[in-house]
Amino acid sequence: MEDDVQLVLAMPRRELFRIQGFVPPSDLQVLESLAEESYYAAPRLIAADFDAKEVRLGLVLLQGQQVLVSDHGVLLHATSVPPETGRMGTGLGALKQFALAAGRQLMGIADGRIELAGFCNEDALQECRGIFILVYKFRVPDSAQAPEGMSWIPLVRLGAVPLDPVSALVSDVLKER
């Protein structure tokens, strides 16, 4: 057994059963459950608990009329949420600050705007079965360069780009520009 187990954010699955696919962040019960009932646990314990899901943060990065896509078709750049996120505030505010910091770090910039775009919960996809993703839009300045292995793709050409299944699922976030 590992001595240095990394804890990640988890939440009860209860409110997530009725959410399928990518949906706008209008479900207050899900937000309340996330804010009031979330906890940190080892990923293996979360995976073994049918009543829980790991919470991950996902970013869709926008620059004007372009979106950042990796060479492997990743539009939704996701990461686990560590306990250190609590140092950035409390509840949903801490998650928003973590999203902002993650976007800035990924892009190597000091600015940018962030907004919650929705939730992704899709048990039909193997990649999503054990996770719930908070999806944020991160808008970067026009001067921001794409990191290595990624490119800015014009939104009008995004349909021609083969995306990974989770990215394809959340690509609807871009229709609301």
> What is the spatial distance between Cα 145 and Cα 53, in angstroms, rounded to a whole number?
34
Q: What is the mean pLDDT, run by run of 10 residues, along the chain of 177 residues?
A: 76 92 88 92 95 97 97 96 92 94 96 94 92 96 96 95 94 70
pTM reported for the whole predicted model: 0.92
Contact (CB, 8 A) for 143 and 110: no
Q: Where are the domains of the chain?
A: 8-176
Fold of 8-176: Nucleoside Triphosphate Pyrophosphohydrolase (3.90.79)
**β-strand partners of 59:** 77, 136
161, 168, 98, 107: which is closest to 139 by C-alpha? 107
Q: What is the reported pLDDT for 6?
A: 93
Tell me the torsion sign for CA atoms 99, 57, 34, 39.
Answer: negative
Residue matched to tokens 């620059």 = 63
Q: What is the reported pLDDT for 122?
A: 94
> What is the pairing mode between strands 39-41 and 113-121?
unpaired
Residue 147, burial from CB neighbour count under 10 angstroms (0-12, 13-18, 19+): middle
Q: What is the reported pLDDT for 172?
A: 75
What are 118's two structure tokens?
A: 């929705």
